[in-house]
Structure 1
Amino acid sequence: FEFDFSRAPIFYPLNDLTIEKGNFSSAKFHAKAEFSRVTFTCNADFSRTNFTHDADFIDATFIDNADFSGAIFTGEAKFIGATPFINAKDFSRVTFTGNADFSNTEFLSAANFMGANFVHEANFNNAKFTGDVSFRDVIFTGEAKFGGVTFTSNANFVETTFKSGVGFYKATFTNFEPIFIVSCLYARFSAAMNPRDYNFSVMTKSQPVNLGTTTLLGKTFEIPLGTILFDPDSNDISEPAKPIENSDAEEEKPAE
Structure 2
Amino acid sequence: MNEVAADWQEAVRRFGGLLGQLRVEAGLTVRELAAAIGVAPATVSKTENGGHAKPQDFYVVRQWVTACAQRVDVHGGSFSIPVALGWWREEHAQLENLHKELSLRPLRSELAAPTAPTTGPSHEHDRYQVPFEVLHQKAVDHLADRSPHVRMAALRTLGDLGDKYHEKRQRIVDELCDYLRIPPDTSDAGEDQVRRTAQMVLAARLRPERGDGATATNPAFWPDMDVDLKRAFLSDVYFNGCEFRRADFDEAQFEGEAHFDGARFVGEARFVGAVFLGYEVSFQSARFEAVSWFRWVAFHGYAYFQGSYFGFNAEFSRSQFSDDAFFDHMTVRNYAWFTHAVFHGSVTFQHARVEGATFWLDSFRAGADFRWAQFASPPKIGECEAVGQAERHWPDNWVELTAEDACGFVDSWPVGWAAVVEEADAAEIRARWESRS
Q: Place the TM-score, normalised by the shorter chain, in its bin.
A: 0.7 to 0.9
In the TM superposition, residue 211 of structure 1 has moved relative to its aligned partner by 7.2
In the TM superposition, residue 187 of structure 1 has moved relative to its aligned partner by 1.2
Match of 1:120 among 301, 304, 316: 301
In the TM superposition, residue 240 of structure 1 has moved relative to its aligned partner by 3.2
* 2:363 and 2:386 in contact (8 A); partners too: no
Is residue 91 of structure 1 aligned with residue 271 of structure 2? yes
Partner amino acid, structure 1, of 2:357: P
Q: Distance in 2 between matches of 1:73 and 1:157?
A: 22
* 1:172 and 1:202 in contact (8 A); partners too: no
Is residue 108 of structure 1 aligned with residue 258 of structure 2? no
Match of 2:422 among 243, 249, 252: 243
Partner amino acid, structure 2, of 1:122: A
Match of 1:200 among 366, 370, 377: 370
Q: Distance in 2 between matches of 1:150 and 1:90?
A: 18
Q: 1:198 to 1:44 in 2, by over 3 A?
A: same
Q: Distance in 1 between matches of 2:170 and 2:400?
A: 44
Match of 1:180 among 348, 355, 359: 359
Q: 1:218 to 1:122 in 2, by over 3 A?
A: closer
In the TM superposition, residue 243 of structure 1 has moved relative to its aligned partner by 2.9
1:20 match? 170
Partner amino acid, structure 1, of 2:317: R
Q: Distance in 2 between matches of 1:164 and 1:216?
A: 11
Q: 1:242 to 1:208 in 2, by over 3 A?
A: closer
Is residue 51 of structure 1 aligned with residue 201 of structure 2? no
- Greater length-normalized contact order (CA 8 Å, ≥ 6 residues apart): 1
Q: Distance in 2 between matches of 1:143 and 1:86?
A: 28
The structure that is strand-richer by fraction is 1
Match of 2:334, SS state, is: coil
1:30 match? 192
* 1:49 and 1:68 in contact (8 A); partners too: yes
Q: Distance in 2 between matches of 1:83 and 1:221?
A: 31
* 2:358 and 2:380 in contact (8 A); partners too: no
CA RMSD of aligned residues (A): 4.1
Q: 1:51 to 1:244 in 2, by over 3 A?
A: same
Q: Distance in 2 between matches of 1:168 and 1:100?
A: 17
* 1:211 and 1:244 in contact (8 A); partners too: no
Match of 1:30, SS state, is: helix
In the TM superposition, residue 11 of structure 1 has moved relative to its aligned partner by 5.1
Q: Distance in 2 between matches of 1:201 and 1:67?
A: 33
In the TM superposition, residue 206 of structure 1 has moved relative to its aligned partner by 4.5
Q: 1:216 to 1:106 in 2, by over 3 A?
A: closer
The total of aligned residue pairs comes to 235
**Cα deviation code 1:165-214 (max 9, x no counterpart):** 1010000013xx21112xxxx11111xx3xxx210124447444467997
* 2:349 and 2:373 in contact (8 A); partners too: no
Partner amino acid, structure 2, of 1:94: A
**Cα deviation code 1:46-85 (max 9, x no counterpart):** 1111113x111011110x22101111111100001x2110
**Cα deviation code 1:9-29 (max 9, x no counterpart):** 875787997742522141457
1:144 match? 325
Q: Distance in 1 between matches of 2:314 and 2:385?
A: 27
Q: 1:218 to 1:101 in 2, by over 3 A?
A: closer
2:348 match? 167
**Cα deviation code 1:215-252 (max 9, x no counterpart):** 655678565759999xxxxxx6945323347658959x
Q: 1:56 to 1:221 in 2, by over 3 A?
A: closer
**Identity %, equivalent residues:** 20
Q: Distance in 2 between matches of 1:210 and 1:222?
A: 16
Q: 1:215 to 1:119 in 2, by over 3 A?
A: closer
The structure that is helix-richer by fraction is 2
1:233 match? none
TM-score where L is the length of structure 1: 0.74
Structure 1: stretches of 5+ with no match in the other structure = 230-235
Match of 2:364, SS state, is: strand
TM-score where L is the length of structure 2: 0.46
Q: 1:11 to 1:179 in 2, by over 3 A?
A: farther
Partner amino acid, structure 2, of 1:61: E
Q: Distance in 1 between matches of 2:326 and 2:421?
A: 25
Q: 1:169 to 1:55 in 2, by over 3 A?
A: same
Q: 1:215 to 1:57 in 2, by over 3 A?
A: closer
